[in-house]
Amino acid sequence: MTGWITSRLHRFGKARGGNVAILVALGSTFLLAAGAVGVDLGLVFQERRKAQAAADIAAMMGAIDPTQANTMARRSLGDNGYGSAVATVDPGTYDASVPGVAPANRFHPGSSPANAVRVGLSTAVPITFGRTIGLAGSIPLRVVGTAASAQFAAFSIGSGTLQVSNGITNALLGAMLGTQLSLSVNDYNTLLGTRVDGLRVLDALATSLNLSAANYADLAQANASVGQILMALRVAAQGNNGAVNALTGILNALPNAGPTVPIGQVDPLGDAAALAPQRGLAGATVDVMSVLGATAALANGQNQVSVDLGATIPGLLSTRLTVAIGERRRSSGWVRPGGPNATIQTAQTRLLIEATASAPLGLGTLTIPIYAEVAPAQATLQALSCIGGARQVTISAQTGLATLAVANVPRSAITGGNTSPNLSQPATLIALPLVNVSGRAVMTIGSTTQTLVFNEADITNHTVKTVSSSGLTQSLTGSLLGSLALNINGIGVSPLLQTSLSATFAALAPTLDLVLDSTLRSLGLRLGYADVDVDGVLCSQAVLVQ
């Protein structure tokens, strides 16, 4: 019997019939198991996409108003079927402006002022077929969405350059650019009335700088030559033949491409730079003349500008301007209330006008040195509302302290430093061999702060609103010259000379007002004023950043 069993086993071991059927049966089992797991994994991936979309939408809803983030985000999760899921809602700040920081580290939960929201969503996906091979009945999922507020306003501070004197403006702008300009008043008025999309200027610069793949934040950190910026303005102004022709005239007058200047100081992104915005977005509009002036001022740096106007000013024998130019009209780029760039300032500007005219009583030539200093004015974005399609922007504006004087101020004292010239010494007005008439007067215009509210119509029409200091008179130079303390050779003047000089000063005051006002307005400034307008409001709610 034992031999028979052994024989049978030996024969069974050698048999090959039915092997394929066995292998097919075993292989089919594994294939069916893999297919079942594949179906479950497909469901998991589908549910993950659905959960991620819900988290992203919730984050964007929360970022519309980070102060209401928890309520809005959880309401959105509930509307998308995740009302009972475990979720976290964390307001914080998002900043992509620091080079080298990984995207995952740009969000800072709990930081203030909050401009972004991160929503974490935890859920589980039940599986069916995986259970047959011993897998758990559900697979846990965790998704995170981060969105940042995209409600921004852009505004400018300076003085409304409502009129220009082509002689003075050509001389000042040309001196800063290192050339001679011959633009007409009409050319300047065209540039003043032309606004272009600031991001289209950056697009044109990207092409010129071979940075077509860069985002706007990268472009704003780059440098460009004066010529490249003017060409970019010309590209952005296409369709406005007057502006294109005026910019072409300036480009043709440049002896070379000129020095390079920081793009972000000419065409700023403001707080929007922290979101590293991608190309193709709509930007705030910028005033072409303001960008042109800012470019020229940056190109000139801290160099003193000295312009001899000769006898071109009617009523004066000669006029010389010496200017230490700060920043002209400033634009904020896209900023938000409470953001790091919500306050912008103009810079201190000093100006010396040396004018000569015929002196009364046959006393030869009368020299009138008028010194003007405009301290920084500033504006702060206080509030922004986009409710119901009706935009409203609230800005606090402050004029800069202004000083006007007739005193002995040497040209070398007109600098961009922190030290103002000494105004204590009288200026020599008439110098004759035996007669020396001198005088001194100082006028200070105080600082004033006011809250300005721009409604939908103001924003659409680019309405300029002005804050003015108290104590302003119709003729600043008239008031200054009228208060001159005069003396001859160190003693008082006779009533006849006092009366004659007073009449001469009164007659010259309108002309000197024109020179002072035109010069400062060519720089985007006025004594005792801060003019503010809103360049745009972005109400696109929020954008995903992670």
Is 459:534 a contact under the CB 8 Å cutoff?
Answer: yes
Answer whether 157's CB lies under 8 Å from 330's CB.
yes
The values of phi and psi at residue 405, to 5°, are -150, 150
Cite the beta strand spans of 359-401 per DSSP E.
365-374, 378-385, 392-398
**How many Cβ atoms from other residues are within 10 Å of residue 504's Cβ?**
18
- Over residues 368-386, the pLDDT tens digits come to 999 999 888 899 999 888 7
Neighbours of 23 (CB within 10 A): 10
Hey, what amino acid is at 269? L
Q: How far apart are CA 15 and CA 324, in angstroms?
A: 106
For 421, the enclosing helix (H) or strand (E) is: none
Please state the rounded mean pLDDT for residues 83-95: 87
What are the beta bridge partners of residue 107? 94
- Which residue in 321, 71, 55 sits closest to 173, CA to CA? 321
Residue 349 · residue 325 · CB < 8 Å: yes
Look at residue 423 and tell me whether its pLDDT is greater than 90.
yes
pLDDT of 161 > 50? The answer is no
How far is residue 350's CA from residue 323's CA, in Å, rounded to a whole number? Answer: 6
Tell me if 119 sits within 8 A of 59, measured CB to CB: yes
Determine the Cα–Cα distance for residues 59 and 456; give it in Å rounded to an integer: 28
Kindly report which listed range (78-92, 121-135, 207-221, 387-401) carries the lowest average pLDDT score.
121-135
Contacts of 114 (CB under 8 A, 6+ apart): 66, 67, 69, 91, 92, 93
Query: What's the mean pLDDT in 491-508?
Result: 87
Of 467, 463, 445, residue with least CA distance to 454: 463
Cβ–Cβ under 8 Å, residues 504 and 359: yes
**Which of 25-34, 91-100, 440-449 is modeled with the greatest confidence?**
440-449
pLDDT in tens, 345-368: 887 889 999 999 998 988 889 999
Q: Which of 209, 511, 155 is nearest to 335 (CA)?
A: 155
Contacts of residue 11, defined as CB under 8 A and 6 or more positions apart, other chains included, come to: none
Side-chain-facing half-sphere of 503: CA atoms under 13 Å: 9
Q: Do the beta carbons of residue 97 and residue 131 sit within 8 Å?
A: no
Query: Looking at residue 272, what DSSP letter applies?
Result: G
Amino acid present at 134: G
Considering only CA atoms, which of 466, 269, 272, 469 is closest in space to residue 379?
A: 466
Mean pLDDT for the chain overall = 83
Q: Indicate whether 162 pLDDT > 50.
A: no
| Phi, psi angles (nearest 5°) of residue 326 | -90, -160
Residue 415 φ then ψ, to 5°: -130, 170
Q: What is the pTM of this model?
A: 0.72
Q: What is the per-residue pLDDT across 252-306, written as a single tens digit (0 to 9) for each? A: 999 998 899 999 988 888 887 777 777 777 788 888 988 898 898 888 887 788 8
> What pLDDT score was predicted for residue 380?
93
**pLDDT score recorded for residue 375:** 85
Taking alpha carbons only, the member of 442, 418, 475 closest to residue 370 is 442
Is the pLDDT at 171 greater than 70, yes or no? Answer: yes
The neighbour count for residue 272, using CB atoms within 10 Å, is 29
76-84: average pLDDT:
87
Give helix then strand counts, H and E, for the chain: 14, 23
What local confidence, expressed as pLDDT, does residue 101 receive?
A: 74
Which residue type occupies 259? P
